Amino acid sequence: MSVWKSETMPIRTQADIVHVRQAVRTWSVDAGMRLVDQTKIVTAASELARNTLEYGGGGELLLEALSESVRVGLRLTFTDHGPGIPDLELALKDGWTSGGGMGMGLSGSKRLSNEFEIESQVGVGTTVRITRWK
Contact 61, 77 (CB under 8 A): yes
CA–CA separation, 54 and 133 (whole Å)? 28
Q: Is 32 helix (H, G, I), strand (E, B) or coil?
A: coil
Say if CB 57 and CB 81 are below 8 A apart.
yes
| Window from 5-14, 44-53, 92-101, 110-119 with minimum mean pLDDT | 92-101
For residue 32, the tally of other CB atoms under 10 A from its CB is: 10
Length of the chain: 134
Single out the residue of 88, 68, 87 nearest to residue 134, CA to CA.
68
Tell me what pLDDT residue 93 has: 80
Cα separation, 92 vs 63, whole angstroms? 23
The per-residue pLDDT for 84 is 94
What gap in Å lies between CA 84 and CA 64, rounded to an integer? 24
pLDDT at 128 over 60: yes
**pLDDT one-digit tens code per residue, 53-109:** 999 999 999 999 999 888 999 999 999 999 999 888 888 886 656 555 544 579 889
**What domains does the chain contain, in order, with CATH numbers?**
2-133 (3.30.565.10)
pLDDT in tens, 19-52: 999 999 999 999 999 999 999 999 999 999 999 9
